[in-house]
């Protein structure tokens, strides 16, 4: 299978609870087919001229390219961060059944 219209959106959250709230909303509103949550990641980053080291949670959001703007808008509206990490990675190949399930799980 060649290029698809499917993406994985990576979003960090301040903690698992915030990630779960965001994930549930995205699934309920059919903006994503699945959200995996990695409960604790160690993030080292530069912010306002200082190096920070924090524990965060990471969401792996499976959806389509057409849904990116909707997911982005929803996440930014409820997220606790002023500057939210919301980046997408293309899914260029995948199981046919899984990719079809993504299509069936989100709104058209």
Interval 4-31: pLDDT, tens: 999 999 999 999 999 999 999 999 999 9
Cβ burial 70-88 (10 Å sphere, 16+ → b, else e): bbbebbeeebeeeeebbeb
Domains, the chain: 6-105 (3.30.70.120)
**pLDDT tens digits, 72-99:** 999 999 999 999 999 999 999 999 999 9
Please give the Cα distance from 60 to 10 (Å, whole number): 5
Cβ burial 47-66 (10 Å sphere, 16+ → b, else e): eeeeeeeeebbbbbbbbbee
Please give the Cα distance from 75 to 38 (Å, whole number): 17
- What pTM was computed for the model? 0.94
């Amino acid at each position: 299978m060649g290029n698809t219209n499917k993406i994985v959106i990576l979003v960090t959250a301040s903690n698992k609870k915030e990630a779960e709230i965001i994930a549930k909303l995205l699934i309920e509103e059919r903006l994503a087919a699945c959200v995996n949550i990695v409960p604790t990641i160690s993030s080292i980053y530069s912010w306002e001229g200082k190096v920070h080291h924090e524990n965060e949670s990471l969401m792996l959001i499976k959806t389509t390219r057409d849904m990116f703007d909707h997911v982005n808008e929803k996440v930014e509206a409820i997220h606790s961060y002023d500057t939210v990490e919301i980046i997408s990675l293309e899914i260029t190949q995948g199981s046919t059944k899984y990719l079809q399930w993504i299509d069936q799980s989100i709104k058209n």
